[in-house]
Chains A and B, each alone.
Chain A
Amino acid sequence: MKRRTTLIAYLFLLPALSLLAVFTFYPVLFGTVLSLFEYDIINPPRYVGLGQFQKLLGDRYFWIALTNSAKYVLVVPVIQLCSILLAVLVNRRLRAIGLFRAAYYIPVITSWPVVGIMWTWMYDQQGVVNWVLRSLAVIDRPISWLSHPTLTLYAVMFVTLWKGLGWYMVIYLAGLQSIPTEYEEAAMIDGASRARVFWHITVPLLRPYVLLASLVSTMAAVKVFEEIYVMTRGGPFFSTYTMFMYIFDEAFQELNMGYAAALAMVLAAVILVFSVINFRFFRRGGLEYY
């Protein structure tokens, strides 16, 4: 009987496992093997051992891309903080609150090409961002947000923040609604201020959600591609040239499939490191912990 149950369980797992095998396990394995070869699609692959990895140590574009990807992770704490605040804000029993929640979620479901083109226009020298800042006398001449070697990366990061906010807000909203109200009420009765309740009750209980959201957003930040591809193509002056952009260039512009695979392996390692850091920080916390 038990054997039969196990068999049935595996049978149910089979469709998902086959999909994972085809679209995840096989590509990971193939990519790992490919990183040991030189392969340009047209000519047969040539084994080079760890040659690709040695090459990337001396490759300036690899270091530029890695630095930019690491800088992009700066978006993670900001996006988490903003989305927690936003979740707190929409976690109220107000009239038409569903409308606000939906409004914050619209950027999440809008496709990257649309968002990218829209923000490219808004960031234009004659776009709405410059118009607002000039009207408020914050700047006296328009800034070319997407053509500035220092500002562009942060301008694109802002778009990532804007688009992702609603997604993390929903995660935190679910988290907030799972916290029983008794804890907060008890603290209030004991005379704790609202801020104290937030920092000492709400945030610790939200920790598992922070872990999940930070993990997902760190991965997304390190792998950032669409916004860069649509808005800057890695420019100006390689200031937004991130690892994924470089991998894309190497694989599909220069046809160095083996080298691109080696870069992707490094990127996977970087993501792993950031994930471990996230786990270290946010492992403790949540309802069950206390």
Chain B
Amino acid sequence: MTSWPIRAAIATVALVLMMTVTGAAGPQTTLEFWTISLQPFFTDYVNRMISDYQRANPGVQIKWVDVQMQAIEQKLLAAIAGGVPPDVVNLNVEFTVRIAEKGALLDLDAAVPAAERAKYFDGLWAGGRFRGRSYGIPWYIAPPVLFFNSDLFKKAGLDALNPPESEDEMIEAARLIKDRTKDYGFMPLIDGTRLMHRFRENGLPMLSEDGKRAVFNSPAHVAYLERYVDLFKKDYFPDDTLRRGFTGAVERYSAGQLGMLLVGPQFLLRIKESNPEIYAKTFVAPYPMGRGKVIHAGLMALTVPRASKHQQEAVKFALYVTNDENQLEFAKLPGTVIFPSTKKAAADPFFKQKGAGPEWKARSIAADELKFGRDLTVVVSNQSELYKIFREAVESAFFGKMSPKEALDWAVREWNARL
């Protein structure tokens, strides 16, 4: 006959063992979550968000993988092809459309209930739409602002307190900076397909209303391109603008060799890291808008590959990442200047607060710009091929192989043959 304490001890051990076994045998789902370039600045934020989710959803494990922007598309395709797809993937609109075209993404209009969809800005929810269906849950957006080097402005005789307010004024300021300081005034974002955004920002459409014809060879389109070709020939922006785009612009600006920089406000962090001296001379102003009174603001979205084995759980997690609380916390992180895609979070008084330093200024400017912000990515089938043709046409015009009119006429013909 065993004594009472011994029996109690045996019973406790058995109970603990049973509980452990039951716990281990419970359903375990591991979701793989891919983000674009959030490490190392946002590692703590994402980890905290994940552990909160895991605590609230026992049985779900999140495996977070951060991927560089340049690599994400290829990595995703390789993972899908290899039968090991991630479950939730952060993509921009261009990539979302390209991968959705292959039928590899989950239709989120069908997977997300209407009540949930209504929480996001309609325009942003429609951002990831291809052939009438949405493939991305909008996450965050950052309308670009104008950074300028107050030192170079002063040297060029420009008033740093009166920065250019329109595209015309910006071009004029760029001319003065180049003429008077020998440094370039700006590197316009017209490389590759970015000219499409500029056209649309100036109220010049790329496609007919039914989306079936290319229409970007009107006299107004030609005149717009001609203006930049002329500036290029007169050396008002550097030769490598077309090759290096905004990466080159950020580098040149950070080195103190560029008067103005048009980028998302989040780039302040990078300038601060690479050259605190230039950061100290940096002033922020609203994006000098074109005639269309609309600004191209790149949207980041969360997508779910169709090959995911846990689609329902993945959608649930994507909705959690983009919910009001999480987006607001993300936007409030020090040094961050991004905006939420949900209506409630965007209405938070935080975005109107004033503080010291260019980040605060950039935030309040960008908040004011949100009403003009839209993702102006041109959504077409056969996207890569059409974009390549457009790029070739634009470069032909800049390098004098064709006149701007001939180049745009040719590209329109090629597009129409494929649309």
A residues near B (Cβ < 8 Å) are 40-43, 61, 124-126, 144, 146-149, 232-233, 235-238, 252-255
The secondary-structure label for the interface of chain A is loop
Q: In the complex the two chains form, is A237's CB within 8 Å of B80's CB? A: no
Report 13 cross-chain contacts, Cβ distance below 8 Å, ordered by A residue: A124-B240, A125-B239, A144-B240, A146-B240, A146-B243, A147-B239, A149-B401, A237-B395, A237-B401, A238-B395, A252-B74, A253-B73, A254-B384
- Which parts of B233-268 form the interface with A (CB within 8 Å)? 238-240, 242-243, 257
Chain A CB within 8 A of B211 CB: no
Q: Mark B390-419, 1 if CB is under 8 A from A, else 0.
A: 001001101101000000000000000000
- Contact A253/B384 with A40-B102, A42-B102, A42-B104 known, Cβ cut-off 8 Å: yes
Q: What is the CB-to-nearest-CB distance from B243 to chain A, in angstroms, rounded to a whole number? A: 5
Chain A CB within 8 A of B368 CB: no
Closest 3 CB pairs of A and B: A144-B239, A147-B239, A41-B81
Return the chain B residue nearest A64 by Cβ: B392
Partner of B399, one of A126, A149, A252, A255: A149
Chain B residue numbers with a CB within 8 Å of A238 are 392, 395
The secondary-structure label for the interface of chain B is helix
Chain A residue numbers with a CB within 8 Å of B238 are 125, 144
Q: Mark B369-406, 1 if CB is under 8 A from A, else 0.
A: 00000000000000011001000100110110100000
CA separation between A61 and B384, bound complex, in Å?
Answer: 13
Q: What is the CB-to-nearest-CB distance from A119 to chain B, in angstroms, rounded to a whole number? A: 14
Q: In the complex the two chains form, is A236's CB within 8 Å of B102's CB? A: no
Chain A CB within 8 A of B77 CB: yes
Q: A147-B240, A149-B395, A236-B243 are in contact. List 20 more A-B contacts (CB 8 A).
A: A41-B81, A42-B80, A126-B257, A144-B238, A144-B240, A149-B399, A149-B401, A232-B243, A235-B242, A235-B243, A236-B395, A237-B395, A237-B396, A237-B401, A238-B392, A252-B74, A252-B77, A253-B73, A253-B384, A254-B384
**Size band of the B side of the interface?**
20 to 34
Chain B residue numbers with a CB within 8 Å of A124 are 240
Q: In the complex the two chains form, is B242's CB within 8 Å of A147's CB? A: yes
Q: What is the CB-to-nearest-CB distance from A237 to chain B, in angstroms, rounded to a whole number? A: 4
Chain A residue numbers with a CB within 8 Å of B59 are none
Chain B residue numbers with a CB within 8 Å of A147 are 239-240, 242-243
CA separation between A255 and B101, bound complex, in Å?
Answer: 11
CA separation between A126 and B257, bound complex, in Å?
Answer: 11
CA separation between A147 and B243, bound complex, in Å?
Answer: 7
Chain A residue numbers with a CB within 8 Å of B23 are none
Q: What is the CB-to-nearest-CB distance from A210 to chain B, in angstroms, rounded to a whole number? A: 37
CA separation between A168 and B396, bound complex, in Å?
Answer: 38
- Contact A148/B239 with A61-B388, A254-B385 known, Cβ cut-off 8 Å: yes
Return the chain B residue nearest A41 by Cβ: B81
Partner of A43, one of B102, B385, B398: B102
- Contact A237/B392 with A125-B239, A144-B238, A147-B242 known, Cβ cut-off 8 Å: yes
Chain A CB within 8 A of B123 CB: no
Q: In the complex the two chains form, is B103's CB within 8 Å of A43's CB? A: yes
Q: What is the CB-to-nearest-CB distance from B317 to chain A, in angstroms, rounded to a whole number? A: 23
Chain B residue numbers with a CB within 8 Å of A149 are 395, 399, 401
- Contact A41/B242 with A235-B395, A237-B395, A237-B401 known, Cβ cut-off 8 Å: no
Return the chain A residue nearest B255 by Cβ: A126
Q: In the complex the two chains form, is B102's CB within 8 Å of A255's CB? A: yes
Q: In the complex the two chains form, is A41's CB within 8 Å of B401's CB? A: no
CA separation between A124 and B252, bound complex, in Å?
Answer: 11
Chain B residue numbers with a CB within 8 Å of A125 are 238-240
Partner of B81, one of A42, A232, A233, A237: A42
CA separation between A232 and B238, bound complex, in Å?
Answer: 16
Return the chain A residue nearest B306 by Cβ: A42
Return the chain A residue nearest B104 by Cβ: A42
CA separation between A233 and B239, bound complex, in Å?
Answer: 16
Chain A residue numbers with a CB within 8 Å of B242 are 147, 235-236
Q: What is the CB-to-nearest-CB distance from B181 to chain A, in angstroms, rounded to a whole number? A: 15
CA separation between A148 and B239, bound complex, in Å?
Answer: 8
Return the chain A residue nearest B384 by Cβ: A254
Return the chain B residue nearest A238 by Cβ: B392
Chain A residue numbers with a CB within 8 Å of B103 are 42-43
Return the chain A residue nearest B77 by Cβ: A41
CA separation between A41 and B102, bound complex, in Å?
Answer: 9
Return the chain A residue nearest B81 by Cβ: A41
Counting chain B CB atoms within 10 Å of each CB, which of A42, A124, A149 scores highest? Answer: A42
Q: What is the CB-to-nearest-CB distance from A230 to chain B, in angstroms, rounded to a whole number? A: 12
CA separation between A147 and B74, bound complex, in Å?
Answer: 26
Q: In the complex the two chains form, is B80's CB within 8 Å of A41's CB? A: yes
Return the chain A residue nearest B73 by Cβ: A253
CA separation between A255 and B103, bound complex, in Å?
Answer: 13
CA separation between A236 and B399, bound complex, in Å?
Answer: 9
Chain A residue numbers with a CB within 8 Å of B73 are 253
Q: What is the CB-to-nearest-CB distance from B41 to chain A, in angstroms, rounded to a whole number? A: 24
CA separation between A144 and B241, bound complex, in Å?
Answer: 11
Q: What is the CB-to-nearest-CB distance from B231 to chain A, in angstroms, rounded to a whole number? A: 15
CA separation between A126 and B248, bound complex, in Å?
Answer: 13
Return the chain A residue nearest B238 by Cβ: A125
